[in-house]
Amino acid sequence: MYRCSLRGKFKKDFSLKKNKLTTYDVAVLGDWVLFDESTEGIGVITKIIDRKNYISRKAKRLLGSLKRGERLEQIIASNLDSIYIVKSTKLPEFNNRFLDRVIVAAESCGIDAKIIINKVDLDERNFANEWEQFYTNLGYKVFITSATENIGIEEVKKSLDGKVNLFWGQSGVGKSSLLNSLYPHLDFSVGEISEASLKGRHTTVTGIMEKVNENTFIIDTPGIRAIDPYGIKKEDLCHYFIEFEPFIHSCKFNTCIHEHEPGCAIVKAVEEDKISIERYESYLNILATIEDDMIY
């Protein structure tokens, strides 16, 4: 483990970019870098290797930005194989709105999204199985777990093996408990501590990456509670709802954003139960948060 700083050049490039309002972070979790070892255990990063992919979100609105739509892109992590979205059956109650939002973010980056429904021990009414069926039918892998009762943990562990995996979950779903039961020898709560101690001028620590065995990495994101996907245009959103695809090209207008245009094939598919109302509502919900004057 080396503690590295960035060469001055990167900081300069970064401020240039910052003026153009394109990106937020220089080196991010998951990056492969070259560095010179200056003192023992300490290095200076000389090159960031091109990213195969990355997931980002809209950063907080800048104070004093001129136009309403000006938002920076904040890269959360790069070079990912999978994103695990953790939800719980209860406490907090399962809802598909945030889940679909993260799925959209993952789809738009071309990263495999998988779903974990935790706290199955509290699920007296078997909601977990219904939602499992729902998302399995769409084509997503769903795991049902209980971190406290040790249910489903081994299956998740097998699926993580040999990959770079990012975990995302809203507060209280049991993400830390899950990670700790998956890898008892690691303490994932350290994420919160490093966030405070590493905070520097240009750094927002949003997560921590742990090597859990030779080829398996886990990125925990305790600093990320909401994901507002970055860089998606209204007319492209439908592509990230994978079950919409067969209908998209049958709309009357090729500029259709499937909201309330006449002759919309998506709306028709919803009416005919070929697309679920839950997913269509998620779609409308995200659509409403995409600003018209967004500058990319």
Closest approach of Zn ion to the CB of residue 262, in Å: 9
Residue 175 engages ligand GDP in binding (rule: CB under 6 A): yes
Q: Shortest distance, CB of residue 266 to Zn ion, whole angstroms?
A: 5
Secondary structure of residue 69 in the 3-state scheme: coil
Other beta carbons within 10 angstroms of residue 98's beta carbon come to 18
Which one of the spans 21-29, 140-148, 223-231, 233-241 is the region binding ligand GDP (CB under 6 A)? 140-148
Instruction: Find the binder of ligand GDP among 116, 117, 142, 173 (CB under 6 A).
Output: 173
What is the Cα–Cα distance from 216 to 75, expressed in whole angstroms? Answer: 21
Q: What angle do CA 232, 109, 62 make, to 5 degrees?
A: 50
Q: Helix (H, G, I), strand (E, B), or coil: what is residue 2?
A: coil
Q: Minimum CB separation from Zn ion for residue 273, in Å? A: 17
The least CB distance from residue 13 to ligand GDP, in Å, is 35
- Interacting stretch for ligand GDP, rule CB under 6 A, among 117-125, 211-219, 239-247, 278-286? 117-125
The single residue among 79, 176, 206, 221 that binds ligand GDP, judged by CB under 6 A, is 176
Query: Is the distance from CB of 81 to CB of 93 less than 8 angstroms?
Result: no
Q: Which is nearer to ligand GDP, 103 or 120 (CB)?
A: 120
- The Cα 257–Cα 235 span in angstroms is 5
Concatenating the DSSP letter of every residue in 183-239 gives -TTS-TTHHHHHHHHH--SS-----EEEEEETTEEEEE-TT-----BSS--GGGGGG
Name the binder of 173 from ligand GDP, Zn ion, none, CB < 5-8 A by kind.
ligand GDP
Those residues with Cβ within 8 angstroms of residue 24's Cβ, 6 or more apart along the chain or in another chain: 59, 72, 73, 74, 75, 204
| 171 binds ligand GDP per the rule CB under 6 A | yes
- Say which entry of Zn ion, ligand GDP, none residue 182 contacts (CB below 5 to 8 A, set by partner kind): none
Shortest Å, Cβ 177 to ligand GDP: 3
Residues that bind ligand GDP (CB under 6 A): 118-119, 121-122, 146-148, 169, 171-177
